[in-house]
């Protein structure tokens, strides 16, 4: 499953941007974090994979938009 480019939503359904990068654990296919391009200027936020609730047509996070944005500070 290719997840780069998928839209990302917080737990309340608010649009967070899209997946720009996928960080893997070593030489495995296990994901450690996702890079999300957010906002008009495309600021990138690195989100640990533990914040992912589910992946389908988009990526749903298990935290609020404010909680996710605070990771980028």
% of the chain beyond a pLDDT of 70: 96
Task: List, for residues 1-30, the tens digit of each pLDDT value.
Answer: 689 999 999 999 999 999 999 999 988 889
Determine the Cα–Cα distance for residues 59 and 56; give it in Å rounded to an integer.
6
User: The pTM is what?
Assistant: 0.87
Mean pLDDT score of the chain, rounded to an integer? 91
Distance CA 21, CA 45 (A): 10
**Contact by Cβ (8 Å): 34, 23:** yes
Pick the more confident residue, 71 or 51: 51
pLDDT more than 90, % of the chain = 75
**Widest CA span in the chain:** 34
| Straight-line distance from the first to the last Cα atom of the chain, in angstroms, rounded to the nearest whole number | 30
């Amino acid at each position: 499953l290719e997840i780069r480019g998928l839209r990302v939503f917080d737990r309340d359904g608010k649009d967070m941007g899209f997946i720009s990068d996928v960080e893997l654990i070593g030489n495995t296919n296990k994901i450690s974090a996702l890079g999300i391009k957010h906002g008009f200027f495309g600021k990138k936020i690195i989100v640990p994979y533990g914040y992912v609730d589910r992946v389908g047509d988009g990526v749903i996070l298990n935290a609020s938009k404010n909680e996710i944005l605070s990771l980028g500070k």
